[in-house]
Amino acid sequence: MVTVSSGVGNKVFRRGEVLLPEDGRGGEIGHLRVDFAADAPWCDCGERGHLGAVASGRGALRAASVLARRFPGSFARSALSAACGGDPERLSAQQVAAGVRSHDAFAVRAVTPGVRHLARTLAVLHTALGVGRFIVMGGFARAAGPPYLRLLGTEMSKAGGFLLPPDGAAGLLRPGAPDDDDGLIGCLRRLERSESRRDAVPQPVFPVADGP
């Protein structure tokens, strides 16, 4: 599971069990440093250049604002400019996501560097652990929709990985629940699993055949 919202997070599941040691390490790809520039964006944890700072909804908004100031002409012709009345200061992450969903070239250009960092991180998970399915959820990913997942898949394919599907890494990606209720669904399945544990039959939190 990968969450792309105001931050970036993850959990890895194997046969219904989350891979998380008792000390809680794991699931924190959002705090992996990916941008080593001296002026890399600040993460909300207080460090610079973390994945959560560049690939989250807030990171996408920051990237779009920087790009708008650098290329005002391109910005003026974009759907983002129309959405915020031409003022980059009034731009929102939701508007950037909507721009990606509608294939606005400026919005896609703005989010691509952050998506690339996320894609490389997911490619490492796939290559190192054999993670075979990535459920991509969170408000920003959901709002940006299928074009966002395709972009993520394209960038994952470029990053490479052992035994990627014939159709590229996009085949590994699935959207979360349309209503973004993934957390509630996960809680319910966890409870169901606890109830059935007496039978000692493993119950996947996210059944492979049925999606999230």
Shortest approach of Zn ion to residue 45 CB, angstroms?
3
Asked if residues 60 and 114 have their Cβ atoms less than 8 Å apart, the reply is: yes
Q: Which is nearer to Zn ion, 53 or 205 (CB)?
A: 53
Q: What is the strand order of the sheet 2-4 is part of?
A: 8-10, 2-4, 134-137, 173-175
Q: Which is nearer to Zn ion, 17 or 42 (CB)?
A: 42
Shortest approach of Zn ion to residue 48 CB, angstroms?
9
Shortest approach of Zn ion to residue 31 CB, angstroms?
4
CA distance 138 to 40: 23
Residues 23-62, interacting with Zn ion (CB under 5 A) = 31, 43, 45, 47, 50
Rounded to the nearest angstrom, the gap between the alpha carbon of residue 165 and the centroid of all alpha carbons in its chain is 20
Look up residue 111 and give its two tokens. 């989010």
**Total residues at interface with Zn ion (CB under 5 A):** 5
Q: Which is nearer to Zn ion, 40 or 124 (CB)?
A: 40
Residues 6+ apart with CB under 8 A from 31: 43, 45, 47, 50, 51, 52
Shortest approach of Zn ion to residue 46 CB, angstroms?
7
Residues 93-152, interacting with Zn ion (CB under 5 A) = none
Look up residue 149 and give its two tokens. 């997942």
**Interaction site with Zn ion (CB under 5 A):** 31, 43, 45, 47, 50
